[in-house]
Structure 1
Protein backbone atom coordinates (compact mmCIF):
# COMPACT_ATOMS: atom_id res chain seq x y z
CA UNK A 1 0.00 0.00 0.00
CA UNK A 2 2.75 2.47 0.89
CA UNK A 3 4.53 1.66 -2.34
CA UNK A 4 1.36 2.46 -4.28
CA UNK A 5 0.95 5.79 -2.49
CA UNK A 6 4.59 6.61 -3.16
CA UNK A 7 4.18 5.85 -6.85
CA UNK A 8 1.16 8.16 -7.02
CA UNK A 9 3.11 10.97 -5.38
CA UNK A 10 5.99 10.42 -7.80
CA UNK A 11 3.56 10.55 -10.74
CA UNK A 12 2.03 13.78 -9.40
CA UNK A 13 5.49 15.30 -9.00
CA UNK A 14 6.34 14.25 -12.55
CA UNK A 15 3.21 15.94 -13.88
CA UNK A 16 3.96 19.12 -11.96
CA UNK A 17 7.54 19.01 -13.17
CA UNK A 18 6.35 18.60 -16.74
CA UNK A 19 4.04 21.58 -16.34
CA UNK A 20 6.86 23.63 -14.82
CA UNK A 21 9.22 22.69 -17.65
CA UNK A 22 6.53 23.54 -20.22
CA UNK A 23 5.97 26.92 -18.55
CA UNK A 24 9.71 27.59 -18.46
CA UNK A 25 9.95 26.64 -22.13
CA UNK A 26 7.03 28.95 -22.97
CA UNK A 27 8.61 31.83 -21.05
CA UNK A 28 11.88 31.16 -22.84
CA UNK A 29 10.11 31.33 -26.20
CA UNK A 30 8.36 34.55 -25.19
CA UNK A 31 11.66 36.01 -24.05
CA UNK A 32 13.27 35.07 -27.34
CA UNK A 33 10.35 36.59 -29.28
CA UNK A 34 10.60 39.83 -27.29
CA UNK A 35 14.34 39.85 -27.79
CA UNK A 36 13.91 39.31 -31.53
CA UNK A 37 11.28 42.04 -31.65
CA UNK A 38 13.52 44.47 -29.77
CA UNK A 39 16.37 43.62 -32.12
CA UNK A 40 14.13 44.24 -35.14
CA UNK A 41 12.98 47.56 -33.70
CA UNK A 42 16.57 48.51 -33.04
CA UNK A 43 17.49 47.74 -36.62
CA UNK A 44 14.48 49.65 -37.96
CA UNK A 45 15.12 52.56 -35.60
CA UNK A 46 18.77 52.68 -36.57
CA UNK A 47 17.86 52.62 -40.28
CA UNK A 48 15.26 55.34 -39.75
CA UNK A 49 17.72 57.41 -37.75
CA UNK A 50 20.45 56.99 -40.37
CA UNK A 51 18.00 57.87 -43.14
CA UNK A 52 16.78 60.93 -41.25
CA UNK A 53 20.31 62.11 -40.55
CA UNK A 54 21.27 61.61 -44.20
CA UNK A 55 18.18 63.49 -45.41
CA UNK A 56 18.78 66.35 -42.97
CA UNK A 57 22.41 66.53 -44.03
CA UNK A 58 21.34 66.51 -47.66
CA UNK A 59 19.00 69.44 -47.05
CA UNK A 60 21.64 71.17 -44.92
CA UNK A 61 19.46 71.19 -41.83
CA UNK A 62 21.15 71.13 -38.46
CA UNK A 63 19.43 69.93 -35.32
CA UNK A 64 20.89 70.90 -31.98
CA UNK A 65 20.18 68.83 -28.86
CA UNK A 66 19.12 71.97 -27.01
CA UNK A 67 16.56 72.75 -29.67
CA UNK A 68 15.20 69.22 -29.52
CA UNK A 69 15.02 69.48 -25.72
CA UNK A 70 13.20 72.82 -25.94
CA UNK A 71 10.81 71.33 -28.50
CA UNK A 72 10.08 68.37 -26.24
CA UNK A 73 9.56 70.64 -23.23
CA UNK A 74 7.28 72.90 -25.25
CA UNK A 75 5.30 69.90 -26.44
CA UNK A 76 4.92 68.56 -22.90
CA UNK A 77 3.98 71.99 -21.58
CA UNK A 78 1.22 72.36 -24.20
CA UNK A 79 -0.26 68.90 -23.88
CA UNK A 80 -3.38 70.50 -22.37
CA UNK A 81 -3.71 72.91 -25.30
CA UNK A 82 -3.13 70.10 -27.77
CA UNK A 83 -5.85 68.08 -26.06
CA UNK A 84 -8.24 71.05 -26.31
CA UNK A 85 -7.44 71.41 -30.01
CA UNK A 86 -8.10 67.72 -30.53
CA UNK A 87 -11.39 68.04 -28.65
CA UNK A 88 -12.36 71.01 -30.83
CA UNK A 89 -11.41 69.01 -33.91
CA UNK A 90 -13.52 66.11 -32.66
CA UNK A 91 -16.44 68.49 -32.03
CA UNK A 92 -15.98 69.89 -35.53
CA UNK A 93 -16.08 66.40 -37.01
CA UNK A 94 -19.24 65.62 -35.02
CA UNK A 95 -20.80 68.87 -36.23
CA UNK A 96 -19.82 68.04 -39.82
CA UNK A 97 -21.41 64.61 -39.45
CA UNK A 98 -24.59 66.17 -38.07
CA UNK A 99 -24.78 68.95 -40.63
CA UNK A 100 -23.91 66.67 -43.53
CA UNK A 101 -27.45 65.35 -44.19
CA UNK A 102 -28.91 68.86 -43.90
CA UNK A 103 -26.30 70.20 -46.36
CA UNK A 104 -27.07 67.36 -48.76
CA UNK A 105 -30.78 68.14 -48.63
CA UNK A 106 -30.05 71.83 -49.18
CA UNK A 107 -27.86 71.05 -52.19
CA UNK A 108 -30.54 68.74 -53.60
CA UNK A 109 -33.25 71.41 -53.14
CA UNK A 110 -30.99 74.04 -54.71
CA UNK A 111 -30.29 71.77 -57.68
CA UNK A 112 -34.00 71.11 -58.16
CA UNK A 113 -34.76 74.83 -58.00
CA UNK A 114 -32.05 75.61 -60.55
CA UNK A 115 -33.46 72.91 -62.83
CA UNK A 116 -36.92 74.41 -62.43
CA UNK A 117 -35.61 77.87 -63.31
CA UNK A 118 -33.86 76.45 -66.36
CA UNK A 119 -37.03 74.72 -67.54
CA UNK A 120 -39.00 77.95 -67.14
CA UNK A 121 -36.39 79.82 -69.21
CA UNK A 122 -34.99 82.10 -66.52
CA UNK A 123 -31.40 81.50 -67.56
CA UNK A 124 -32.18 81.99 -71.24
CA UNK A 125 -33.98 85.21 -70.39
CA UNK A 126 -31.05 86.42 -68.29
CA UNK A 127 -28.71 85.63 -71.16
CA UNK A 128 -30.73 87.89 -73.47
CA UNK A 129 -30.53 90.74 -70.94
CA UNK A 130 -26.74 90.96 -71.39
CA UNK A 131 -26.94 92.60 -74.88
CA UNK A 132 -29.43 95.11 -73.45
CA UNK A 133 -26.96 95.99 -70.71
CA UNK A 134 -24.19 96.32 -73.31
CA UNK A 135 -26.30 98.72 -75.38
CA UNK A 136 -27.11 100.78 -72.29
CA UNK A 137 -23.42 101.01 -71.40
CA UNK A 138 -22.54 102.00 -74.96
CA UNK A 139 -25.39 104.48 -75.30
CA UNK A 140 -24.96 106.35 -72.04
CA UNK A 141 -22.05 108.18 -70.48
CA UNK A 142 -21.18 108.12 -66.77
CA UNK A 143 -22.54 111.67 -66.52
CA UNK A 144 -25.90 110.46 -67.86
CA UNK A 145 -26.00 107.76 -65.20
CA UNK A 146 -25.25 110.31 -62.47
CA UNK A 147 -28.04 112.56 -63.74
CA UNK A 148 -30.36 109.56 -63.81
CA UNK A 149 -29.44 108.77 -60.21
CA UNK A 150 -30.27 112.35 -59.21
CA UNK A 151 -33.63 112.18 -60.99
CA UNK A 152 -34.58 108.61 -60.12
CA UNK A 153 -37.05 109.67 -57.40
CA UNK A 154 -38.94 111.95 -59.78
CA UNK A 155 -38.92 109.27 -62.48
CA UNK A 156 -40.27 106.62 -60.13
CA UNK A 157 -42.94 109.02 -58.84
CA UNK A 158 -44.03 109.72 -62.42
CA UNK A 159 -44.12 106.02 -63.24
CA UNK A 160 -46.14 105.38 -60.09
CA UNK A 161 -48.70 108.00 -61.18
CA UNK A 162 -48.78 106.60 -64.72
CA UNK A 163 -49.53 103.10 -63.45
CA UNK A 164 -52.70 104.18 -61.71
CA UNK A 165 -55.71 102.23 -63.05
CA UNK A 166 -57.47 105.34 -64.43
CA UNK A 167 -54.37 106.56 -66.24
CA UNK A 168 -53.59 103.13 -67.66
CA UNK A 169 -57.20 102.70 -68.79
CA UNK A 170 -57.13 106.08 -70.57
CA UNK A 171 -53.82 105.31 -72.24
CA UNK A 172 -55.08 101.88 -73.27
CA UNK A 173 -58.21 103.40 -74.82
CA UNK A 174 -56.10 105.98 -76.65
CA UNK A 175 -53.86 103.25 -78.10
CA UNK A 176 -56.88 101.19 -79.15
CA UNK A 177 -58.45 104.19 -80.87
CA UNK A 178 -55.20 105.07 -82.64
CA UNK A 179 -54.78 101.49 -83.84
CA UNK A 180 -58.36 101.44 -85.14
CA UNK A 181 -57.80 104.55 -87.29
CA UNK A 182 -56.77 103.94 -90.87
CA UNK A 183 -54.13 106.63 -91.16
CA UNK A 184 -53.82 106.17 -94.91
CA UNK A 185 -57.55 106.86 -95.50
CA UNK A 186 -58.16 109.75 -93.11
CA UNK A 187 -60.97 111.93 -94.50
CA UNK A 188 -60.27 115.60 -95.17
CA UNK A 189 -62.29 118.24 -93.35
CA UNK A 190 -63.25 121.66 -94.65
CA UNK A 191 -63.51 124.64 -92.30
CA UNK A 192 -67.30 124.47 -92.40
CA UNK A 193 -67.30 120.72 -91.66
CA UNK A 194 -64.78 121.23 -88.91
CA UNK A 195 -67.03 123.86 -87.29
CA UNK A 196 -69.98 121.49 -87.44
CA UNK A 197 -67.93 118.73 -85.83
CA UNK A 198 -66.91 121.14 -83.11
CA UNK A 199 -70.55 121.42 -82.10
CA UNK A 200 -70.92 117.66 -81.64
CA UNK A 201 -71.18 116.38 -78.04
CA UNK A 202 -68.10 114.22 -78.49
CA UNK A 203 -65.91 117.10 -79.64
CA UNK A 204 -67.20 119.45 -76.96
CA UNK A 205 -66.44 116.83 -74.30
CA UNK A 206 -62.97 116.29 -75.76
CA UNK A 207 -62.34 120.04 -75.83
CA UNK A 208 -63.51 120.26 -72.22
CA UNK A 209 -61.05 117.56 -71.20
CA UNK A 210 -58.23 119.26 -73.12
CA UNK A 211 -58.96 122.72 -71.70
CA UNK A 212 -59.30 121.37 -68.16
CA UNK A 213 -56.00 119.49 -68.55
CA UNK A 214 -54.19 122.58 -69.82
CA UNK A 215 -55.61 124.79 -67.06
CA UNK A 216 -54.58 122.37 -64.33
CA UNK A 217 -51.18 121.94 -65.97
CA UNK A 218 -50.60 125.70 -65.94
CA UNK A 219 -51.37 125.76 -62.20
CA UNK A 220 -48.64 123.23 -61.42
CA UNK A 221 -45.96 124.88 -63.56
Structure 2
Protein backbone atom coordinates (compact mmCIF):
# COMPACT_ATOMS: atom_id res chain seq x y z
CA UNK A 1 0.00 0.00 0.00
CA UNK A 2 2.75 2.35 0.96
CA UNK A 3 4.65 1.40 -2.18
CA UNK A 4 1.68 2.41 -4.34
CA UNK A 5 1.40 5.69 -2.53
CA UNK A 6 5.07 6.34 -2.99
CA UNK A 7 4.85 5.48 -6.67
CA UNK A 8 1.96 7.92 -7.12
CA UNK A 9 3.95 10.68 -5.49
CA UNK A 10 6.87 9.92 -7.77
CA UNK A 11 4.58 10.06 -10.81
CA UNK A 12 3.19 13.41 -9.70
CA UNK A 13 6.70 14.72 -9.21
CA UNK A 14 7.64 13.51 -12.70
CA UNK A 15 4.60 15.27 -14.20
CA UNK A 16 5.52 18.48 -12.45
CA UNK A 17 9.10 18.15 -13.61
CA UNK A 18 7.89 17.61 -17.19
CA UNK A 19 5.82 20.78 -16.99
CA UNK A 20 8.75 22.68 -15.53
CA UNK A 21 10.99 21.41 -18.31
CA UNK A 22 8.41 22.44 -20.92
CA UNK A 23 8.22 25.92 -19.40
CA UNK A 24 12.00 26.14 -19.32
CA UNK A 25 12.19 25.05 -22.97
CA UNK A 26 9.48 27.57 -23.91
CA UNK A 27 11.33 30.36 -22.11
CA UNK A 28 14.60 29.36 -23.76
CA UNK A 29 12.92 29.40 -27.17
CA UNK A 30 11.45 32.83 -26.47
CA UNK A 31 14.84 34.05 -25.28
CA UNK A 32 16.46 32.82 -28.48
CA UNK A 33 13.76 34.55 -30.53
CA UNK A 34 14.29 37.77 -28.61
CA UNK A 35 18.03 37.49 -29.09
CA UNK A 36 17.53 36.93 -32.83
CA UNK A 37 15.18 39.90 -32.95
CA UNK A 38 17.68 41.98 -31.00
CA UNK A 39 20.46 41.00 -33.39
CA UNK A 40 18.29 41.86 -36.41
CA UNK A 41 17.29 45.19 -34.88
CA UNK A 42 20.90 45.94 -34.06
CA UNK A 43 21.98 45.22 -37.62
CA UNK A 44 19.12 47.29 -39.07
CA UNK A 45 19.70 50.05 -36.55
CA UNK A 46 23.41 50.05 -37.31
CA UNK A 47 22.78 50.28 -41.06
CA UNK A 48 20.16 52.97 -40.49
CA UNK A 49 22.50 54.89 -38.24
CA UNK A 50 25.37 54.68 -40.72
CA UNK A 51 23.11 55.69 -43.60
CA UNK A 52 21.68 58.58 -41.58
CA UNK A 53 25.14 59.77 -40.61
CA UNK A 54 26.27 59.58 -44.23
CA UNK A 55 23.23 61.44 -45.56
CA UNK A 56 23.38 64.08 -42.84
CA UNK A 57 27.08 64.54 -43.50
CA UNK A 58 26.22 65.51 -47.08
CA UNK A 59 23.68 68.13 -46.01
CA UNK A 60 25.11 69.28 -42.69
CA UNK A 61 26.22 72.55 -44.31
CA UNK A 62 22.62 73.34 -45.27
CA UNK A 63 20.65 72.38 -42.16
CA UNK A 64 21.15 72.51 -38.44
CA UNK A 65 19.95 70.41 -35.53
CA UNK A 66 17.59 73.18 -34.52
CA UNK A 67 15.95 73.14 -37.92
CA UNK A 68 15.49 69.36 -37.75
CA UNK A 69 13.93 69.67 -34.31
CA UNK A 70 11.71 72.49 -35.56
CA UNK A 71 10.60 70.32 -38.48
CA UNK A 72 9.89 67.41 -36.15
CA UNK A 73 7.81 69.63 -33.86
CA UNK A 74 6.02 71.05 -36.88
CA UNK A 75 5.12 67.56 -38.08
CA UNK A 76 3.93 66.53 -34.63
CA UNK A 77 1.79 69.67 -34.29
CA UNK A 78 0.19 69.01 -37.68
CA UNK A 79 -0.48 65.31 -37.32
CA UNK A 80 -4.22 65.93 -37.71
CA UNK A 81 -3.63 67.99 -40.87
CA UNK A 82 -1.39 65.29 -42.34
CA UNK A 83 -4.01 62.69 -41.47
CA UNK A 84 -6.72 64.71 -43.23
CA UNK A 85 -4.44 65.15 -46.24
CA UNK A 86 -3.85 61.41 -46.44
CA UNK A 87 -7.59 60.81 -46.14
CA UNK A 88 -8.20 63.26 -48.98
CA UNK A 89 -5.60 61.46 -51.09
CA UNK A 90 -7.35 58.18 -50.38
CA UNK A 91 -10.68 59.76 -51.35
CA UNK A 92 -9.12 61.09 -54.56
CA UNK A 93 -7.75 57.64 -55.34
CA UNK A 94 -11.19 56.09 -54.76
CA UNK A 95 -12.76 58.77 -56.97
CA UNK A 96 -10.28 58.06 -59.76
CA UNK A 97 -10.99 54.37 -59.50
CA UNK A 98 -14.74 55.03 -59.72
CA UNK A 99 -14.38 57.60 -62.50
CA UNK A 100 -12.06 55.48 -64.64
CA UNK A 101 -14.91 53.47 -66.28
CA UNK A 102 -16.85 56.68 -66.96
CA UNK A 103 -13.77 58.35 -68.44
CA UNK A 104 -13.17 55.28 -70.60
CA UNK A 105 -16.75 55.38 -71.89
CA UNK A 106 -16.51 59.12 -72.53
CA UNK A 107 -13.29 58.61 -74.47
CA UNK A 108 -14.92 55.89 -76.56
CA UNK A 109 -17.92 58.17 -77.25
CA UNK A 110 -15.54 60.96 -78.24
CA UNK A 111 -13.68 58.70 -80.65
CA UNK A 112 -16.97 57.53 -82.17
CA UNK A 113 -18.11 61.14 -82.58
CA UNK A 114 -14.80 62.11 -84.20
CA UNK A 115 -15.14 59.14 -86.55
CA UNK A 116 -18.66 60.31 -87.43
CA UNK A 117 -17.38 63.83 -88.14
CA UNK A 118 -14.64 62.36 -90.32
CA UNK A 119 -17.13 60.28 -92.31
CA UNK A 120 -19.37 63.33 -92.79
CA UNK A 121 -16.43 65.37 -94.06
CA UNK A 122 -16.09 67.89 -91.24
CA UNK A 123 -12.30 67.59 -91.12
CA UNK A 124 -11.99 67.85 -94.91
CA UNK A 125 -14.19 70.94 -94.82
CA UNK A 126 -12.07 72.46 -92.04
CA UNK A 127 -8.92 71.70 -94.04
CA UNK A 128 -10.29 73.43 -97.14
CA UNK A 129 -11.54 76.30 -94.98
CA UNK A 130 -8.00 76.67 -93.67
CA UNK A 131 -6.75 76.96 -97.25
CA UNK A 132 -9.36 79.65 -97.93
CA UNK A 133 -8.21 81.50 -94.82
CA UNK A 134 -4.61 81.30 -96.04
CA UNK A 135 -5.63 82.78 -99.39
CA UNK A 136 -7.48 85.61 -97.64
CA UNK A 137 -4.53 86.35 -95.35
CA UNK A 138 -2.02 86.33 -98.20
CA UNK A 139 -4.27 88.43 -100.44
CA UNK A 140 -4.78 91.33 -98.03
CA UNK A 141 -2.20 93.55 -96.40
CA UNK A 142 -2.31 94.78 -92.79
CA UNK A 143 -3.43 98.15 -94.14
CA UNK A 144 -6.40 96.48 -95.84
CA UNK A 145 -7.33 94.76 -92.59
CA UNK A 146 -7.05 98.09 -90.76
CA UNK A 147 -9.39 99.75 -93.25
CA UNK A 148 -11.74 96.81 -92.95
CA UNK A 149 -11.82 97.29 -89.17
CA UNK A 150 -12.50 101.00 -89.54
CA UNK A 151 -15.45 100.32 -91.84
CA UNK A 152 -16.77 97.17 -90.17
CA UNK A 153 -19.87 98.96 -88.83
CA UNK A 154 -20.77 100.24 -92.29
CA UNK A 155 -20.20 96.80 -93.79
CA UNK A 156 -22.39 95.12 -91.17
CA UNK A 157 -25.16 97.69 -91.66
CA UNK A 158 -24.97 97.14 -95.42
CA UNK A 159 -25.25 93.37 -94.98
CA UNK A 160 -28.11 93.92 -92.53
CA UNK A 161 -29.96 96.06 -95.05
CA UNK A 162 -29.33 93.55 -97.83
CA UNK A 163 -30.89 90.79 -95.75
CA UNK A 164 -34.19 92.65 -95.38
CA UNK A 165 -37.05 90.62 -96.93
CA UNK A 166 -38.09 93.35 -99.36
CA UNK A 167 -34.50 93.86 -100.58
CA UNK A 168 -34.02 90.14 -101.06
CA UNK A 169 -37.34 89.89 -102.90
CA UNK A 170 -36.39 92.79 -105.20
CA UNK A 171 -32.98 91.28 -105.90
CA UNK A 172 -34.57 87.91 -106.58
CA UNK A 173 -37.06 89.48 -108.99
CA UNK A 174 -34.27 91.34 -110.79
CA UNK A 175 -32.25 88.14 -111.14
CA UNK A 176 -35.30 86.27 -112.40
CA UNK A 177 -35.94 88.97 -115.01
CA UNK A 178 -32.27 89.01 -116.04
CA UNK A 179 -32.28 85.23 -116.31
CA UNK A 180 -35.38 85.12 -118.47
CA UNK A 181 -34.71 88.27 -120.49
CA UNK A 182 -34.31 87.71 -124.19
CA UNK A 183 -33.41 90.88 -126.08
CA UNK A 184 -32.36 90.51 -129.66
CA UNK A 185 -32.04 93.77 -131.62
CA UNK A 186 -31.65 92.79 -135.25
CA UNK A 187 -33.16 95.86 -136.88
CA UNK A 188 -32.55 99.56 -136.81
CA UNK A 189 -34.56 101.29 -134.08
CA UNK A 190 -36.00 104.62 -135.12
CA UNK A 191 -36.43 107.59 -132.82
CA UNK A 192 -40.20 107.42 -133.27
CA UNK A 193 -40.31 103.80 -132.18
CA UNK A 194 -38.09 104.61 -129.22
CA UNK A 195 -40.47 107.42 -128.20
CA UNK A 196 -43.37 104.99 -128.51
CA UNK A 197 -41.62 102.54 -126.20
CA UNK A 198 -40.95 105.32 -123.70
CA UNK A 199 -44.65 106.15 -123.73
CA UNK A 200 -45.64 102.63 -122.63
CA UNK A 201 -46.75 102.16 -118.98
CA UNK A 202 -44.01 99.62 -118.29
CA UNK A 203 -41.21 101.94 -119.44
CA UNK A 204 -42.76 104.86 -117.58
CA UNK A 205 -42.83 102.86 -114.35
CA UNK A 206 -39.25 101.74 -114.90
CA UNK A 207 -38.03 105.29 -115.57
CA UNK A 208 -39.92 106.62 -112.57
CA UNK A 209 -38.44 103.91 -110.36
CA UNK A 210 -34.94 104.69 -111.65
CA UNK A 211 -35.40 108.43 -111.09
CA UNK A 212 -36.70 107.91 -107.55
CA UNK A 213 -33.86 105.50 -106.83
CA UNK A 214 -31.22 107.99 -108.00
CA UNK A 215 -32.95 110.79 -106.11
CA UNK A 216 -32.97 108.82 -102.86
CA UNK A 217 -29.34 107.85 -103.37
CA UNK A 218 -28.44 111.51 -103.80
CA UNK A 219 -30.33 112.48 -100.63
CA UNK A 220 -28.70 109.67 -98.66
CA UNK A 221 -25.26 110.71 -99.90
CA UNK A 222 -25.96 114.29 -98.84
CA UNK A 223 -27.02 113.14 -95.34
CA UNK A 224 -23.89 110.99 -95.00
CA UNK A 225 -21.67 113.92 -96.01
CA UNK A 226 -23.34 116.19 -93.44
CA UNK A 227 -22.94 113.54 -90.74
CA UNK A 228 -19.25 113.11 -91.57
CA UNK A 229 -18.70 116.87 -91.37
CA UNK A 230 -20.44 116.98 -87.98
CA UNK A 231 -18.32 114.11 -86.62
CA UNK A 232 -15.10 115.69 -87.91
CA UNK A 233 -15.84 118.82 -85.90
Question: Per the shorter chain, which TM-score range?
Answer: 0.7 to 0.9
**What corresponds to 2:88 in structure 1?**
88
Aligned residue pair count: 217
Gaps of 5+ in 2: 222-233
Instruction: Determine if the alignment matches structure 1 residue 187 to structure 2 residue 185.
Output: yes
Residue 69 of structure 1 corresponds to which residue in structure 2?
Answer: 69
Q: CA deviation at 1:39?
A: 0.7
Deviations 1:59-103 (A, max 9, x none): x43275444434333322332332232233233334434444444
CA distance in 2, matches of 1:177, 1:38: 110
User: Which residues of structure 1 form unaligned runs of 5+?
Assistant: none
> How far is the alpha carbon of 1:163 from its aligned partner?
1.7
Once the two structures are superposed, the pairs formed by residues 1-221 of structure 1 within 5 Å of their partners are: 7=7, 10-11=10-11, 14-54=14-54, 57=57, 60-62=58-60, 65-180=65-180, 186-187=184-185, 190-192=189-191, 193-221=193-221
- In 2, distance between residues paired with 1:166 and 1:3? 140
TM-score, length-scaled by structure 2: 0.72
Could you say what secondary structure the match of 1:190 adopts? coil
RMSD: 3.3
Structure 1 distance, partners of 2:12, 2:153, is: 114
d(CA) in 2 for partners of 1:202 and 1:12?
146
Matched residues in 1 for 2:211 and 2:118: separation?
Answer: 53
Relative distance call for 1:9 and 1:169 in structure 2 (3 A) is farther
CA distance in 1, matches of 2:73, 2:37: 30
